[in-house]
Amino acid sequence: MNRTKKSELIKSTHSALKCADVLIITHHAHLKVKEIDDLRSKIRSVGGYYKVIKNRLARLALLGTTYMNLSKFFIGPTSLTISKNPIAAIKVIVEFANKNDKITIIAGGIGKQVLNANEIYALAKTPSIEESRKNIVSILQNVNRKTVTIIGAPASKITRVLRFHSTSDS
């Protein structure tokens, strides 16, 4: 890769990192092109991107971003997952790592918060924003149903009481 292409790669990675809400650093070993393409496609579908990059270039791209404190993790065959949708991207990379032992999650960051691999795996269990919205809607619908049931209950009891009294007077 010539200097111009390296410079363009650093700039594009830097601008992606400046806009990103999450960065996940992984090591990859002997991933096949088809596997990398599959992972890239899955990450792209949640609004992120996966990049295999040389450590020196990655460290240069980190300069001036909130992820500068992650430069110590760039050792070995490194790849990056960068996204504006933290939970979705984390879920994709964790699911891929669970199914494929050729990729290992090293560390990551959400803003200035450094995450170790265990924290990333824990975040993967967090419901996505869409799942959270569905849960909230479901809860609100259940509250409405229960409220109607509670409000309707006294009226039915009054009706039963009136029926009982009208039959006992006869």
pLDDT over 90, % of the chain = 66
Same-domain check for residues 159 and 112: no
| Contacts with 60 (C-beta within 8 Å, 6 or more apart), sequence order | 10, 14
What is the tens place of the pLDDT at every residue in 123-151?
Answer: 999 887 778 888 888 887 777 666 666 66
Determine the structural domain holding residue 152 and report its residue range.
Answer: 127-170
Same-domain check for residues 13 and 91: yes
Same-domain check for residues 31 and 105: yes
Same-domain check for residues 62 and 139: no
Distance CA 87, CA 48 (A): 11
Residue 17, pLDDT score: 94
Same-domain check for residues 122 and 150: no
Full strand arrangement of the beta sheet holding 113-116: 48-52, 78-83, 22-28, 103-110, 113-116
Residue 111, pLDDT score: 86
Residue 152, pLDDT score: 64
Q: What is the mean pLDDT of residues 1-15?
A: 92
Tokens 């990551």 correspond to 108
What is the tens place of the pLDDT at every residue in 86-127?
Answer: 999 999 999 999 999 999 999 999 988 999 999 999 999 988
The rounded mean pLDDT for the chain is 87
Q: What is the CATH number of the domain that holds 20?
A: 3.30.70.1730
Same-domain check for residues 114 and 135: no
What is the total count of domains within the chain?
Answer: 2
Same-domain check for residues 13 and 69: yes
Q: What is the mean pLDDT of residues 42-67?
A: 94
